[in-house]
Amino acid sequence: MPPRVRIAPSPTGDPHVGTAYIALFNYVFARKYGGRFILRIEDTDRERSTSSSEDAIIEALRWLGFEWEEGPDVGGPHGPYRQSERLDIYRGHIARLMEGGHAYRCFCTRERLDALRKEQLAAKADHLGYDGHCRGLDPAASAERAKAGEAHVVRLRIPDKEEGTTVFFDDLRGKEVEIANRQIDDQVLFKSDGFPTYHLANVVDDHLMGITHVIRGEEWITSTPKHVLLYRAFGWEPPRFIHLGLLRNADRSKLSKRKNPVSIFHYRDLGYLPETLINFLGTLGFSLGDDRERFTVDEMITHFDWSRVSAGGPVFDAAKLDSFNAADIRALTVDELYLKVMDRVLSPERLKGLLVHAKERIDRLDDVIPYISFAFGAEVDYGPVLAKVRLKKRTRAEVIAILKDYAQEIEKDPGARTFEPDALEAFSRGFCESRGWKAREVFTLLRIGVTGRTATPSLFDTMALCGKDRCRLRLRHLISVLEGEADW
RNA sequence: GGCCCCAUGGUCUAGCGGUUAGGACGUUGGCCUCUCACGCCGAAAUCCCGGGUUCAAUUCCCGGUGGGGUCACCA
């Protein structure tokens, strides 16, 4: 039976390189054995999921060259492929679980849960988790309360808590992973907002979509027993499980936005070649078995085997990616390079967007290039303008703090996230006000940080022109430069 | 902290009982050269520790240590 695998990203932000990494191994595995590669959008978090993020994921994955046989955009026989459109399915399944006694309603309030957690923390409890308060509720009575409109969630009833143990086989590690049932929480399967949690939706969908191999990040390994128990409760055969090592920061923690550019768009917009990025990702954890490390996806497919994949989490070494990319650019003919540059860097849309601002400020046509140059390239040189960030009434520490604060907040504000000039301005003015800084002060810092210049088009046009990822990169660079400076 | 996973130079990896432990990035010395880059030649740097098993362990087993993940009405 040919495998069916899926990549199931959550549309809650910029498309992540970790998603690309997991997608790559799923994709290669599917192709190797003539299987199907499926895209499923896991948008059960109503708070954070956005359709723009879903669009971005699809755009990013396509840019990298992935093609899926089934997905929200291409359809397929097991749709819908967007979990928010499968609510009825989950409702039916949760009812089935409750009927079988495998799940129960829980009416505990947030307050009680918070208090419980605090208590467990204070008592230095070995295992934090739900205490089973509602476990013994009479099903009929609980149904009544639910009917009366009382807020509740539905939890999985982990069987045999005292003695039981749940085991699954991990194909990458080539061994069984065993976890005591007492370590497993009575997970919430259905939230009080009427949406399923990951655990329920994921298991139900994987089964209904005929997924044969679940290839995902290692962060899921400890919750796999929950999933196994769910399959069992439904009377289903679980798929095979493969947990890939997590991509790491240089300090070996899980790859994070704070410490690394993680958006796929960052790599696209700064001009990494998609096949190069893929090749680089492929070398993290996989090898052809010889000295070659420059290979295509097709070569990866022909040599692929789980025994060729390592289970440790690799550090994402941007310097090595750079060397790969530089070598691949060198290998291009001038004509090929020209086409890529015109397509990506100097596309008519992008160029015109810049010319709108340049035309008011240049004396000669030839000046256009130096004028718009702020919108290109990675980091900028702050040498000539560094003195300008020495704000009269602020210490260096304050300047660093406000820049970090801004860089962080821009990720959270729904308006700012879009990186549209108007939304950015609204956000930025609000930011200044709430922090008690003059807009003038902050805007100066941002202008310098983003462009290395003191004179640019309107700050928010400038930022939009540079793009979110470039702004983020340069702001972070400025911060690190300042951190290395003496105080003023 | 409990549980789980992982462990070859700084980083990514090859190795699958006997090798001068191979390659790549990075670092570094030199050559090439008007500069830089490329290219070429060279160097430093690794089997986490301790027990076993074995004639022989980087390799197999156990323990320790270290790193990571996870303990949400987020995925």
Any atom of strand B under 7 A from CB of A130?
yes
What pLDDT digit, counting tens, does each position of A350-392 carry? 999 999 999 999 999 999 999 999 999 999 999 888 888 888 7
Q: Which of A210, A343, A182, A208 is nearest to A273 (CA)?
A: A343
Q: Which residues of A423-453 are buried (b: 16+ CB within 10 A; e: fewer)?
A: bbbebbeebbeeeebeeebbbbbbbbbbbbb
Q: State yes or no: is A404 an active-site residue.
A: no
* Average pLDDT value for chain A: 94
What pLDDT digit, counting tens, does each position of A14-60 carry? 999 999 999 999 999 999 999 999 999 999 999 999 999 999 999 99
Average pLDDT over residues A470-477: 94
Q: Choose the catalytic residue: A254, A257, A340, A404.
A: A257
pLDDT at A414: 83
The length of chain A, given as a count of residues: 488
Q: Which of A170, A166, A278, A282 is nearest to A216 (CA)?
A: A170
What pLDDT digit, counting tens, does each position of A389-430 carry? 888 789 999 999 999 999 999 988 888 888 999 999 999 999
Per the model's pLDDT, the better-predicted residue between A163 and A205 turns out to be A205
Q: Give percent of chain A above pLDDT 90.
A: 85
Gap from A239 CA to B38 C1', Å: 50
Model confidence at A486: pLDDT above 90: no
Any atom of strand B under 7 A from CB of A192?
yes
The amino acid occupying position A21 is Y
Any atom of strand B under 7 A from CB of A225?
no
Model confidence at A487: pLDDT above 80: no
**A9 preceded by cis ω (within 30°)?**
no
pLDDT at A208: 98
In the numeric block, which tokens belong to residue A364?
Answer: 């000669």
Question: Tokens 């948008």 appear where?
Answer: A43
